[in-house]
Amino acid sequence: MSNRTPISYGDYLELHSLLNAQSMTSSIHDEHLFIITHQAYELWFKQILFEIDSVREVFKAPRLDESKTLLIVNRLNRVVLILKLLVDQINILETMTPLDFLEFRTSLATASGFQSLQFRLFENKMGVKEDQRVKYNQQHYIRVFNDPESIAKLKDSLDSPSLLALVERWLERTPGLTEEDGFNFWDIFQQVVKRWQDDSYLYPAQTEEDEDVKAGYLMDYNKARETFDSLFDIDKYNAQRERGERRLSHKAFQGALLISLYRDEPRFNQPFQVLTLLMDIDSLITKWRYNHVLMVQRMIGSKIGTGGSSGYQYLRSTISDRYKIFLDLFNLSTYIIPRAYIPPMNNRMKRRLSVLSAEEMIKFGKQNGSKTDLSKQNDSQTDVTKLTNQMKDKLAMKEVEDEDVSDGKVKFEI
């Protein structure tokens, strides 16, 4: 028999407290819906913060344990599904007419959704930049909170690394970015981009007889060069970052681009899913803001908000790239080139990206006539390493055959 103390469903969920937390200030029927809907929002915000905090903890490690990447994917996906629910939840509020809302709106006094502590914590922990925020009544949002506990939580959320900052650090460590990694993606990428621009615009312009068509090719060529120049020139890149047009460091953006171009590689598949989910979260936050703005305009028009803000006008100003956290990930597609121009990886990079389990290494050893019993040898780790390298070499040679290495640099024939 179990020694656990019996507990009921209601006691476990503390339903007595939860279901008695709807204190209506009027006798208007729709106020009950208004309270329930916003309480449901706050409960889901609490779960979102719980998930985001757990993901941030994983990213805080000096080196990300790749076995936990799937965990990150699962939890970010959960946040995405919750946000989809929150976007649709606005439809329920819209079953209330403006006249219905007006009947109890005065009962709200100065209460405003702007005072949602959890939503501000969510923004801060995700990485909304302080200098990008639109001021609320010309003052910092923290001024609407008076209790020390809320202020302490807000300051802690600002002082601790945001998810954006942690993801940036992670992307900067993407394998293959430098020559030391054995691939030097960035130098190779600049070469193939030039080749693609020449093939797509410059060479057709040189052989084109029609002057108008030729001028069009040259215009497109110059635009393409200008676009990529803002990426390849680190000074121009950093200038855009200073203006708030970019969020990620130059090296982190390189990592994100590498992952996007080589997402079919097993090692980059889950990181690509992480980047996609981060964009999904950003998109859904924007959708939620937009739907909220439309609902507010429908309910109160251009009236002043209950918290004293300009209401619709203020909310509309938050629907812009200023509040987009992972803006750079959306802009990656600007620099995507055709598959035919994407440089293949060399053997060394292929080996580095190979992920083999101990069982696979032992199996590989047996298939190749190895009589070593790894479980009984003191130098088993050495044997496993040898088998790993043998198998990686074999796999890499199957996938990449043409490689010319000279002076430590890899030359690709595309």
Q: How many residues does the chain have?
A: 414
For residues 239 and 150, what is the distance between their CA atoms, to the nearest angstrom?
36
Q: Pick from 331, 322, 326: which is nearest to 280 by CA?
A: 326
For residues 182 and 407, what is the distance between their CA atoms, to the nearest angstrom?
12
Measure Cα distances from 280 to 73, 333, 404 in Å. Answer: 12, 15, 40
Q: What is the DSSP string of 365-400?
A: HHHTT----TTT-TTHHHHHHHHHHHHHHHHHHHH-
pLDDT, tens digit only, all 414 positions of the chain:
567 889 999 999 999 999 999 999 999 999 999 999 999 999 999 999 999 999 999 999 988 888 899 999 999 999 999 999 999 999 999 999 999 999 998 888 778 888 899 999 999 999 998 888 887 766 788 888 889 999 999 999 999 999 999 999 999 999 988 777 778 899 999 999 999 999 999 999 999 889 999 999 999 999 999 999 999 999 999 999 999 999 999 999 999 999 999 999 989 999 999 999 999 999 999 999 999 999 988 988 877 766 555 677 888 888 889 999 999 999 999 999 999 999 988 888 877 776 544 444 455 455 555 444 444 444 444 444 454 455 445 444 444 444 443 333 333 332
In 293-349, beta strands by DSSP E: none
Q: Please report the pLDDT score of residue 2 as a whole number.
A: 62
Helices 234-242 and 211-232: crossing angle in degrees, nearest 10, is 80
According to the CATH classification, is domain 9-173+264-335 in 1.20.58.480? yes
Measure Cα distances from 327 to 40, 121, 191, 206, 248 in Å. Answer: 29, 20, 26, 37, 9
Write down the pTM of the prediction.
0.82
Which sequence spans correspond to the domains of the chain? Answer: 9-173+264-335, 179-244, 347-411
Is 94 within 8 Å of 299 (Cβ atoms)?
no
